[in-house]
């Protein structure tokens, strides 16, 4: 099994969602370890549970501090723990923009409504007052705007005729305990998922001028130019030509550059079996920590090596502005 992702959980109270993560993480197949439970309240009951389960804890009160200063303290504690992801589980603090940006695409939250409905507080009563048939919960990425990040998963919870806010909340909490750990497990393993990796490449390749996708020996490839005279500038490799790893094939300037790249970082680059003799390079994408800006740069460089001159001239002019 691949190395497990490390997550830090932030709480402010009893930590019932945190407890769901603790017990989910006990499964040998769980793809994450909890390396820290932290709180803005040193008396939060959830801290005692985490300590009893031999999980490292940290607490620092926020009273008397600016939001930014307190967030800096929490950020430092998370970094020291080695966490790669932050999971908000009843953390009753609005986070500063700076903190959110530091954990962009690496911080998740659960909200007790079917977003984008009922952002903010009093979600249960608002759903009842609106005469909705269902309420529910949503797991989303955290962005600076409250409850506005991309939704990753949702669970609907039926609203019964005699429900009040408390009864609806108690059932929704059960749904949260099921949804949240499963969604985080899926999210932290996405970078080793072939379908997710392929979509990341596709989005970046097709953003290049006059690029199109076409299968080559059963594997997706990307071309630039017309339908008849287009040239390939990239291929997705998943057992393509017998390769075992998942990767991206792009054109280098030649065998010298190819050899230099492999010598410099043999864990990232390798010579593809079929195209290596013509100077193509393979970049591994199944390590779980792909630098997608680096991949985008490689796609553009490879595109430039085969694109018609009229396109490369236009791109060079655009880059000046």
State the DSSP H helix or E strand holding residue 99, giving kind and residue range, or none if neither: helix 97-102
> DSSP strand E in the chain: where?
5-11, 32-39, 57-59, 85-88, 107-111, 134-141, 151-158, 211-216, 219-224, 231-238, 246-251, 269-270, 280-284
**CA-based radius of gyration for the chain:** 24
How many whole angstroms separate alpha carbon 321 and alpha carbon 303?
20
Question: Two tokens at 73?
Answer: 């303290």
Q: What is 27-50 written as a DSSP string?
A: STT-SEEEEEEEES-TT-HHHHHH
Q: CA–CA separation, 76 vs 240, rounded Å?
A: 43
User: Could you write out the DSSP letters of every residue in 207-244?
Assistant: TSTTEEEEEETTEEEEEES-TTT-EEEEEEEESGGG--
Beta bridge partners of 236: 248
For 112, residues 6+ apart whose C-beta sits below 8 A from its C-beta are 123, 124, 135, 136, 137, 169, 172, 176
**Other C-beta atoms within 10 Å of 273: how many?**
13
Q: Which of 62, 70, 111, 177 is catalytic?
A: 111
220/19 Cα distance (integer angstroms): 43
Residue 177 appears among annotated catalytic residues: no
Helix (H, G, I), strand (E, B) or coil at 186: helix
Catalytic residues: 111
């Amino acid at each position: 099994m691949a190395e497990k992702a490390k997550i830090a959980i932030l709480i402010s109270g009893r930590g019932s969602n945190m407890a769901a993560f603790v017990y989910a993480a006990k499964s040998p197949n769980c793809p994450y370890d909890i390396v820290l439970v932290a709180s803005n309240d040193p008396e939060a009951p959830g801290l005692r549970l985490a300590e009893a389960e031999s999980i490292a804890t940290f607490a620092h009160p926020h009273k008397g501090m600016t939001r930014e200063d307190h967030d800096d303290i929490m950020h430092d504690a998370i970094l020291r723990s080695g966490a790669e992801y932050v999971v908000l589980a009843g953390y009753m603090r609005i986070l500063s923009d700076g903190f959110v940006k530091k954990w962009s695409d690496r911080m998740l939250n659960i909200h007790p409504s079917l977003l984008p409905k009922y952002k903010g507080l009093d979600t249960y009563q608002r759903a009842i007052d609106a005469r909705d048939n269902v309420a529910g919960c949503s797991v989303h990425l955290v962005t600076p705007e409250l409850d506005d990040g991309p939704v990753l998963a949702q669970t609907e919870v039926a609203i019964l005729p005699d429900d009040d806010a408390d009864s609806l909340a108690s059932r929704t909490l059960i749904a949260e305990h099921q949804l949240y750990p499963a969604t985080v497990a899926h999210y932290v393993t996405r970078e080793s998922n072939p379908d997710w990796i392929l979509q990341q490449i596709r989005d970046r390749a097709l953003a290049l001028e006059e690029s199109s996708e076409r299968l080559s020996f059963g594997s997706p490839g990307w071309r630039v130019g017309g339908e008849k005279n287009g040239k390939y500038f990239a291929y997705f490799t998943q057992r393509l030509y017998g390769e075992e790893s998942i990767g991206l094939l792009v054109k280098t300037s030649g065998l010298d550059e190819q050899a230099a790249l492999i010598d410099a970082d043999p864990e990232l680059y390798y010579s593809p079996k079929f195209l290596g003799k013509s100077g193509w390079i393979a970049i591994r994408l199944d390590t779980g920590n792909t630098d997608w800006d680096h991949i985008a740069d490689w796609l553009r460089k490879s595109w430039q090596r085969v694109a018609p001159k009229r396109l490369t001239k236009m791109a060079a002019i655009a880059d000046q502005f």
